[in-house]
Each structure stands twice: as structure tokens, then as C-alpha cells.
Amino acid sequence: MSAVPRKPIYLDYQATTPLDPRVFAAMRPFLEEHFGNPHSAEHAYGWIAHEAVEEARRHVATVIAARPEAIIFTSGATESNNLAIRGVFAAAMPQRDHLVTVATEHKCVLENARWIARHGGRVTILPVDRQGLVDLDRLCAAIDDRTALVSVMAVNNEIGTIQPLAEIGALCRERGVYFHTDAAQGFGKIPIDVDEMGIDLLSISAHKVYGPKGVGALYVRTSAPRVRIAPLILGGGQERGLRSGTLAPHQCVGLGEAARIAGAEMVQDAEQAHHLFCRLWQGLQDAVPDIRLNGPATKRWWGNCNVTIPGVRAEDLMARLPDLAISSGAACGSGSGEPSYVLQAIGRTRHEAEQTLRIGFGRFTTTEEIDHAVTRIAEAVAAARANIRMVP
């Protein structure tokens, strides 16, 4: 047995990432001396907070090559997805009543799709191939003359698939349909240019990119074309009237600093994730020859390694690995007991989905931690399989 560290090794970066200490340092003054309301225009307390929020907005915009005015701060990607989908439909209905989305989207996109379907709209949910990719011909065929919105995520949170955003954007542009992408797992990790990719709305979550929980943003295109969208939260008319409520400067600054760092270190972060992925995946294959990778082998986010281990239930495996903080699926779905719908959408059986581990890593993961994880998973698989043989 290898030495068991006191605290489990954190390998669940798709559920949330650690707060970068540089982000915390940037946030802190806005919880202490700079406590002003950013909407107070009459004194320096307000001005300082306001200027910090606007600088943060510029940092967020820069990462996706957007104009700062197009960034709306929210409480996170869940809220951004709610606003993008229901906000666009509130403005588009009844003339345009049709939503196109994909089976492997995050629960909050799919739940909003269900809401649209229950409230007089029509919804098409497209399947994906074995890699988790949406088929562009199918997507094209699904769009009709009353389609308001196409919503396809940037990077999948369970299996790391990167969708062809530029191709989807071009297709939507050609058909005169808005394109929304849930980029919670892609923002600051893969290069995104909203103009080049034809993206009209884009959801961001700070805590998936080394920022704090409870803050995110929605990019809403302001021109060519200006997106018609109605707010969900009414009040003082902050954030261009799209999201009322006093902004939390420390949270906005946290997202802004996380964005600034991610933009500056994107190549380095991606290279590190790739290096760790190769080490992990090679180590796992050497130790467990029948292990299978879920999601694409190449065009993927490298900080995700989702694997199916035949004959071993993930639940059993995880019980043997208290020293590893890994997941058997999406954080939002786990606890429900239902095997992952994402894995079933790429053709895994329910049974296989129950034999699946999601290992997520990134900026603060070391090669030593990856090596330790490989050793421990190998031990746990061997022990679990031995038990299976002992109990017929």
C-alpha cells in the first residue's frame, strides 16, 4: 500500500477548481477596505468599486475577444444558461418558438429546454456520436424557419468533448438563428473568439477556471446582430437591464482576475493538462489493460480523463480510494443514483456507465499526484476484481 495523505488528492476539476491564490489576493481588498456599492455614483467608495467591476468586465471580454459592454455578470453558468435560453425565448415567442440543443448538455440547459417545451415551445434534442460530437448535417436539418436558438456546449463536463463551435456558429449565422454556447468548461481553457466563431451568447462560470463560486457571466452580442433578449430578474436595471441587483465587486474582480490569468496562461495550462493526461492515461492502460477512455482521444480538453473499467463498479472502487477525490459522474447528477445520461448518449450501457470514473486535474495538479492516483487505482481495481472472483 502506498502512503495515504491526510487530505485526499483533489482530482475533480470538472466539478470545481481550486481558487488561484492570485485571484484571492485580487478579491480580498473588495471585502475589506473597498466595500463600496459599485452603483453609488456620488462618492469615491462607489467609484472605486465601479472601476474594479469595469476592469474585471474588460478582462472577461478579452478572453473571448468580445466588447466589454457585451458581458453581463451573473451568479454562475447555471444562471447564465437560464438567462440565455429563457431570456431569448421570452423575446422571440410566439413568432419563433423552436430550440435546438444536444443530449449531452449540462442539466441546467436540458431543464430549460424542458421548460420551453412545457410553455408552448418546441424543442429538438440532437444525439451525439461515440466521441460526444454533434452531427452538423443533423443540426442543419433540425433548424426550421421558426427556430430561435441553437444551444451547444463548448466543452463537455463529463467526457471533455470539444464541440465544433466555429462550424456551428457559421451554420447558425447562415440560417439567421442565434447560437448560444455553455462555455463553463471551455472559457479560459480553449481559444474562443465570439466573432470568428459566430457565437451570440456564451455562458461563463468563475469556479471552473480557478475563480470563486457564485459568480459567472453571460456574453450577449450587442451588434451584428444585436441579440433580442428579455431579463429574468427585474429591479434596478443593472447590467443593461438584463440582470438587476447590486453587483458583488469582490466576485466580479475574482472572475476578472481568473479570466486575466487564464488568458495569459492558456497555452501553458493546456500543455500541463496534456502532459498530465498522457501520464495518467498511459499509467492506467499499463495497469488495467482493458480500461476504456470515454470521449475523444484527441480533440478534447486534456484536464479530463473519463474511463470505464469493465467488471468493477465505480462505487466499489471509490469506497476503496478514500485518498482520491474523484467522481463517478457529474457533480450535479451524482447522488441521484442514476447512471450518467452523457455516457449513455455516447453509446455506453447503463451497466458500463456504472463502471466509470471521471478524473479531473489542472493547474495545481502535480505529476506525483497523478502517479499516486495511478498506483492507487491499479491497487483498487485489482482488489475489487479479486473480490468479484471470490464471491460468485
Question: Does residue 77 interact with ligand PLP by CB under 6 A?
Answer: yes
Minimal distance in Å, beta carbon 185 to ligand PLP? Answer: 5
385: Cα within 13 Å, side-chain hemisphere: 12
Q: Are 221 and 201 a contacting pair, CB within 8 Å?
A: yes
Reading the block at residue 269, the C-alpha cell is 495550462
DSSP 7: S
Considering only 169, 211, 216, 254, the residue that binds ligand PLP (CB under 6 A) is 216
Phi-psi map region of 176: left, alpha, beta (phi>0 left; psi -120 to 50 alpha): left
Nearest to 99 by CA among 167, 333, 84, 78: 84
Minimal distance in Å, beta carbon 282 to ligand PLP? Answer: 26
Coarse DSSP helix, strand, coil percentages of the chain, rounded to the nearest 5 percent: 40, 15, 45
* Whether residue 332 lies in the annotated active site: yes
Q: How many residues bind ligand PLP (CB under 6 A)?
A: 14
> Residue with CB nearest ligand PLP?
76
The contact mask relative to ligand PLP for 155-174 (x = CB under 6 A, - = no) is: --x-----------------
The DSSP bridge pattern shows strands 147-151 and 98-102 to be parallel
Question: Does residue 258 interact with ligand PLP by CB under 6 A?
Answer: no
Grid cell 431569448 is found at 88
Our CB check for ligand PLP shows the closer of 205 and 328 to be 205
Question: Does residue 180 interact with ligand PLP by CB under 6 A?
Answer: no
What phi and psi values does residue 155 have, to the nearest 5 degrees? Answer: -130, 130
Our CB check for ligand PLP shows the closer of 80 and 147 to be 80
Which one is catalytic: 140, 252, 305, 332? 332
Q: Are 116 and 84 a contacting pair, CB within 8 Å?
A: no
Considering only 63, 72, 133, 184, the residue that binds ligand PLP (CB under 6 A) is 184
Provide the 10 A C-beta neighbour count for residue 6: 5
Question: Does residue 185 interact with ligand PLP by CB under 6 A?
Answer: yes
Question: Does residue 101 interact with ligand PLP by CB under 6 A?
Answer: no
Minimal distance in Å, beta carbon 308 to ligand PLP? Answer: 21
Radius of gyration (Cα) for the chain, nearest Å? 22
CA–CA distances in Å: residue 313 to residues 234, 309, 320, 342, 387: 47, 8, 11, 17, 12
Q: Are 231 and 89 a contacting pair, CB within 8 Å?
A: no
Minimal distance in Å, beta carbon 77 to ligand PLP? Answer: 3
Minimal distance in Å, beta carbon 332 to ligand PLP? Answer: 7
Our CB check for ligand PLP shows the closer of 358 and 372 to be 358
Provide the 10 A C-beta neighbour count for residue 4: 12
Minimal distance in Å, beta carbon 377 to ligand PLP? Answer: 23
Our CB check for ligand PLP shows the closer of 158 and 200 to be 158
**Residue 240, helix vs strand vs coil:** helix
Q: Are 361 and 328 a contacting pair, CB within 8 Å?
A: no
- The sign of the dihedral angle between the CA atoms of 15, 21, 22, 23 is positive
The contact mask relative to ligand PLP for 27-66 (x = CB under 6 A, - = no) is: ----------------------------------------
The contact mask relative to ligand PLP for 186-215 (x = CB under 6 A, - = no) is: -------------------x-xx-------
Question: Does residue 106 interact with ligand PLP by CB under 6 A?
Answer: yes
- Residues near ligand PLP (CB under 6 A) are 76-78, 106, 108, 153, 157, 182, 184-185, 205, 207-208, 216
User: Which residues participate in catalysis according to the annotation?
Assistant: 332
